[in-house]
Chain A
Amino acid sequence: MADPLEQFAIRPIVPILVGNVDLSFTNSSLAMAIAVAGAYGFIMLGTRQHAMVPGRLQSLVELSYEFVANLVRENAGRDGLRFFPYIFTLFFLILFGNSIGMIPGIFTFTSHIIVTFFLAICVFLGVTALGFWVHGVRFLGFFVPKGAPKIMLPLLVPIEIMSYCVRPISLSVRLFVNMMAGHTMLAVFVGFIGALGVFGVAPLAVTVALTGFEFVVAFLQAYIFTVLTCLYLHDALYMH
């Protein structure tokens, strides 16, 4: 039985070494490139005809555009729409990264903690910087819960700060663990198919069901990552 974790191994395709830092173009980088091409191709192909009455693909493109726009508007507020292109890119990069990972043989770059953590830390730092940019020092008031008794503040403020700083970790771990667990589980069940002979039908059925389930997870996790980003953005813009 093949190692179910082997699929997460990173293999260089084009070795690149800058100084003594390895920046090789790897199977992960290839998946990222495919995701970028896929996301961009999806939109450009869908809007190719500029149809007044949209066809199937154009409807899908328009739907996803309005889906993300509504998501930003509802979760980050009107001012959040300034960041719509950033959020849209984030959503589509994660969505396509998760989705193309479902194609056998294609690497799932969102199953690596460093990728999701880097995305999350960028969101975290960007949003925090934005908070200070918009509100100045008063943004620190975000860590002081309104209406709390004064005596409780020495306890509450550190908790607030801690929960704020844990955000990039929870944000990144959620996505990474979901993707990794799903793919590991799929690999494990696929391994059972051969091992059980005729009775391999059972794990095959499970694999089919799990595959469908994983597509839902792929979308859902991209959605959750985006929604939470928007909510953090809202906190920075409106401080509640």
Chain B
Amino acid sequence: MARRGLLAGLLAAGGVILADTVLWAAEDKGEGGLPQFDVTSFPSQIFWLVVAYAVLFYLMSRKALPRVAEILEARQDRIARALDQAARLREEAEELLKRHQARIAAAQQQAQRLLRESQERLQEESARRQAELERELAARLREAEARIAAARERALARLDEAAAEAVQAAVLRLAGIRLSKRDALAAVRQAGEARVEA
């Protein structure tokens, strides 16, 4: 209530001031020095100023300002939409990038696994082959050694026999004794062993 009263009082005071000015202007018809202080022109100036302000206010608030605001808002909306879209596209691109990176990582893993597997297989294979080769070589070596030993035996036997025959012949020629083949062979072997011991 107090608020209403104050407001009314204020407006009344303003009205009284204006009315006074107008009346004062209407009464005083004197010619002053400055045109600015010629009060007879005041009512007209105030009246037309109010009209001008009212008209301009009506035009601005009803027509011009909403139009500018609309343009600015439309642009703001469009910028916001474009930004939204850009953000969405960026998210999509990031998603795609992530998927691709995952795929690349998986492929790399697979490649490494394959490489490892084939390396292991190759190593196994070569180890197996080597072992086989070694076995074969060992077998051949043993066989060859056996063959050499047999040949040596045989050669040695034949040498002993030849020596025994030479001993028989020498004994018959020198002593005129016919030595049996077995004795001659025994003598040769004995002499051979003695020589080996020496």
Question: A interface vs B, CB < 8 Å?
Answer: 5, 8-10, 12, 16, 20-26, 28-29, 32-33, 35-36, 39-40, 43-44, 47, 50-52, 54, 58, 61-62, 65-66, 84-86, 88-90, 92-93, 109, 111-115, 118-119, 121, 125, 128-129, 132-133, 136-137, 176, 180
Contact of B57 among A33, A51, A52, A86 (CB under 8 A): A86
* Chain A residue at minimum C-beta to C-beta distance from B58: A89
**Given contacts A9-B35, A52-B75, A112-B36, is CB(A89)–CB(B57) below 8 Å?**
yes
B56 CB–A CB distance under 8 Å: yes
Q: Among A9, A22, A33, A86, point to the contact of B43 (Cβ < 8 A).
A: A22
Residues of B within 8 A of A (CB-CB), count: 47
Question: Beta-carbon contacts of B26-48 to A below 8 Å, as 1s and 0s?
Answer: 10000000111110111111111
In the bound complex, CA of A10 to CA of B49 (Å) = 14
21 contacts between A and B (CB under 8 A): A10-B38, A21-B25, A21-B43, A23-B43, A40-B59, A40-B64, A50-B71, A52-B75, A61-B68, A65-B69, A65-B72, A66-B72, A85-B65, A112-B45, A118-B49, A119-B49, A121-B14, A125-B10, A132-B10, A133-B3, A137-B3
| Contact indicator A132/B49 (Cβ below 8 Å) | no
Chain A residue at minimal CB-CB distance from B3: A136
Indicate whether B174 reaches chain A with its CB closer than 8 angstroms.
Answer: no
Contact A43 B64, beta carbon cutoff 8 Å: yes
